[in-house]
Amino acid sequence: MSSCVRSRKDRRMALDDVTKSIRGAMVPIHPEGRIFIAAFAIVAFILFLIWQPLGWLGAGLTIWCALFFRDPDRVTPLREGLVVSGADGVVCDVKAAVPPPELGLGAEPLPRVAVFMNVFDVHVNRAPVGGRVVRIAYTPGKFLNADLDKASEDNERNAIVIESPHGKVGAVQIAGLVARRIVCFVREQDQLGAGQRFGLIRFGSRVDHYLPVGAEPLVGVGQRTVAGETVIADLSRSGDARSFRKG
């Protein structure tokens, strides 16, 4: 093989490597976000025609919108009994709380883990456990700051209950101060795997996880979670609750 042919082959291989690297670095965008990204891009283009600095601001907001709707793959631990976080964000509350009545989980307090998502977090929500969806309930309401405790009761929300081999687990999508649209991808009687996508909340919100009686949360307030990956409880075991130190 001549040196010229080898050189062309080496360049093609190098170009392929660069292309693969770029594709690997790009995060998929959820289809729900395409129309919003397109709208932001059109507005940015118009702003460029009006005044360039405004156009650059619009371009920045378009990039933010694309990042908001990113939908990366996740690696979900599949051992039976594990409960994974349904949302990216920060744990804002861990305590026993009475679940919303529409979940049908009774009137007694259950262990609850609340995860707050800011406008920079991934907003695609994932099933905390594998099992059958036995209930979906949408409740209209207010749009208070989702970080507030009363948001669980007063805000617009969509709740699903999944029946797992270790009991029923509730996941409640709660709209926030900026959020105005909750999307649910599943129906009652659907079979979900742990970590499977079940919904999305647009622009800042919260997900509350209601665990079976006796479950001990394995996360603490202030801890960051990754949807579909961070283990928040283990229903196959009982034991003392964990303690945490921030530093």
Asked whether the beta carbons of 222 and 246 are under 8 A apart, the reply is yes
Count of CB atoms within 10 A of residue 105's CB? 22
Report residue 203 as tokens. Answer: 């622009």
Catalytic residue among 205, 236, 238, 243: 205
Distance, in Å, from the CA atom of 223 to the CA atom of 38, rounded to the nearest integer, reads 34
Angle at 89 between CA 193 and CA 37, to 5 degrees: 85
User: Which residues are CB-neighbours of 245 under 8 A, at least 6 positions away?
Assistant: none
Q: How far is CA 75 from CA 85, 146, 195, 229, in A?
A: 12, 27, 8, 6
Q: Is 205 a catalytic residue?
A: yes
How buried is residue 242: exposed, middle or buried, by Cβ count under 10 Å (0-12/13-18/19+)? Answer: exposed
Catalytic positions: 205
